[in-house]
Structure formats: structure tokens, C-alpha cells
Amino acid sequence: MAPSHVLKCCQKALAWVPVAFIALVVAWSYYAYVVELCVFTISSTAEKVVYLVVFHLSFVMFVWSYWKTIFTFPASPSNEFCLSKADKEQYEKEERPESQQEILRRAAKDLPIYTTTASRAIRYCDRCQLIKPDRCHHCSACDVCVLKMDHHCPWVNNCVGFSNYKFFLLFLMYSLLYCLFVAATVLQYFIKFWTNELPDTHAKFHVLFLFFVAAMFFISILSLFSYHCWLVGKNRSTIETFRAPTFRNGPDKNGFSLGCSKNLREVFGDEKKYWLLPIFTSLGDGCNFPTRLVIMDPEQLTVSSQNEPAKSSGANQSFPPRPLSESQNRLLASDSQWVESGPEEENVKSGSLHCKTCDDSRVLFVVGFSFFFFFLFFRPKTSLGIGWSQVEENLFRRIKSACL
């Protein structure tokens, strides 16, 4: 028991290493930009003031959203999804899966659930001993069921889900703007130091590395932020992209998509003035989501009938559809004039591997040719006696072989 407890404590401590690394990089970037660049390097007072004001604005928003992403605890299912004591005892005594599923179906008949497993069984978590709401998954790292789980992120040492997905998106956006602003404003002084137009001082090291670090993080975060913007527009989580949720009509990656604008409102809320602030404004409770199934079902198109018991629409439906919450009704109140482009016939595994390979190739291509053109046009002076044409030729050959 003692070694196991010590091992868990060590795992928890090691899980904070990526967060500590990011914190150290951010703290160093603050010192390098404010002190070494603005105080010791820039001579123009007006330029200093403008740079410092914009820098601190982006820095505060970046740190605020990062803090909220880390320390917002993942939302878990409410008690209504837990089995009663009698059902739990009966479920544990049963050995046949068919009998266990019958118990779960009886317990889930009044729950707002539309999705099942691939084998049309009730989604049940044996670890947490509860029926999983739609889009809920168990995180092995946090050891808890997380509502609308997207993924477990080691860089924030937390699960990204319903309670902090907006904060995570803002963290990516503000970190992207932070890196872009730093790289853009440091670039001219980076070139001056690199070409020896400015004297060698202790600020040179910080300015040179500040540009490289900002550019590197900008390229890395840009791909991740673009991917999650696409997910928000489609109303999918990362898990749902690789494993489509199964409805009564079968798997459907677009099952929760209500159109781009409504999908955006579901994450960021109705009031646009709060969209750019790391304040929780997402619609719903995380346990119940409006679906395309609800919109397409003719028995649920009439809002006045939502408070009446819903009729069964087919033999394959596991649970009766439940009334929608107020926030969900606002999303569906306008009309259903949105049209999806059509069913996506994608192989999840091969498609994900192909996308990942393409993304890696693009990043490698952009980074490699960025450095190539930088050396091509700026050609810094060197005292090592190395011919730059030869260096460029070797660099181009390496980049080409790496891309291929």
C-alpha cells in the first residue's frame, strides 16, 4: 500500500513538470522583453511605451486564461446519472451482460441520453459507477468521468472539457497573439544584433533567443489553435473526431452540430461582450446537448410538446427523447435552416493518421523554408571563414531530404 501511495504522489508531482516548464519560459520571456529589450535596447521612449502597453495587455490575458484552464476542475456528471443503491447491488450481482444492460436501460429511461456504445449498449463507467451522459468520457489520468471531454492536456495538467474548454481556446488564442507580438516587435532588433549593427551587450543573447522561442511556439500553437477552431465550428471534441458518437441511426460525427454560429454560441455563450474574457459563459449543463437527432425527429419539432412524454420513433431507439433545457431551446429556437454538406465517409484511424502526417509535413516545410529564406536574404557576417553559399546549399539539401 505504501509503495503504491508513494508512486501516485510521484506521478502527481511529475505531472506538474510541463506546467513548470511553461511558467519558467513565460517568466523568462517577460524579463527578456521588458528589461533587456525595452529598457536596455530600445532608445525611443514612444516606442517603449507602445510596446510595453500592448505587451502587458496580451501578457495579462494570456496568463489569466492559462490559469483558468489549469485550475478549473473538470465537471463531472450529476447524481441523477448514478445508479440507486438497489440497482447498483443488482447490477453487481448479475453476471450476464444482457441482464446488466436491462438494469441500465431501466435506470436510463428518464435520463437525457441519445448516444450508446458501438454495440448499442448503455454507456456505463464501472470505475465511477454511473451512466455516462452524452459526450462524457472517463479520464484515466484524472480518474474521473469528465463532461464533454476533449482530451487530457499535459501542458495544463488538467482535462479539457465542458467546464474549461472556452478557457483552453482563449489560452491558445492569447498565447498565439503573445508570441506573434513578441516575434514581430523583436524581429528588427534580432536582425540588427545578428548583422552586428548593434554592439554586443548582455541583451543580445536574450533578444536572439526571444525571437527564436516566440517564433517556434507561434508555429506550434497556430496548428493546434486552427484545429480547435475547426472543431468548434463542427461542434466536435477531439475524441469524437477519432470515434464518432453512435446515435439510434448509427455513428454520426455531425450529430451534435447545429450550424457554425450556433456551435460557437454553445461554447462561448449568448453575450458576445464576454467571449474574449476567460469567464464561464458556455450554454447548458454539460449533461444534455441539443442534437441533429432532435431537429430531424418530426415528433420533437413542436416546442409546445416538449413538456409531454415523448413518443418512441422506432424499435432501435434505446431511450425516449427528453425535453430540452432553456439554453438548448435558445439554440434551436430560430429554425433548422442550417444544412450540413452531407455525410462524411471517413475512416477514423487512417484519416487521423493522414491528417497528423500532413500537419507534421506542413510544419516541417514552413520551419525549414523560413530559416532557409532568412539565411538567404540576411546573410550574417561570420568570422569563421565559412562560405554562406555552401551553408545554404547544405541546408537546402537537408530540408529537402527531411521533407521527403
Residues in CB range of 334: below 8 A, 6 or more apart:
262
* Range 330-334, long-range pairs (CB < 8 A, 24+ positions): 330/270, 330/283, 331/258, 331/262, 331/265, 331/266, 331/283, 331/290, 332/258, 332/290, 332/294, 332/295, 333/303, 334/262
According to DSSP, residue 80 is labeled: G
Q: Which three cell numbers stand for residue 388?
A: 554562406
Helix axis angle for 17-31 and 45-71, nearest 10°, is 170
Side chain identity at residue 93, one-letter code:
K
Burial of 26 (0-12, 13-18, 19+ CB in 10 A): middle
Q: Furthest-apart CA pair in the chain: how many Å?
A: 85
Q: Which three cell numbers stand for residue 271?
A: 453575450
Query: Pick the catalytic residue: 136, 145, 153, 159?
Result: 153
Query: How many CB atoms sit inside 10 A of residue 246's CB?
Result: 19
Q: Is 153 a catalytic residue?
A: yes
Active site residues: 153
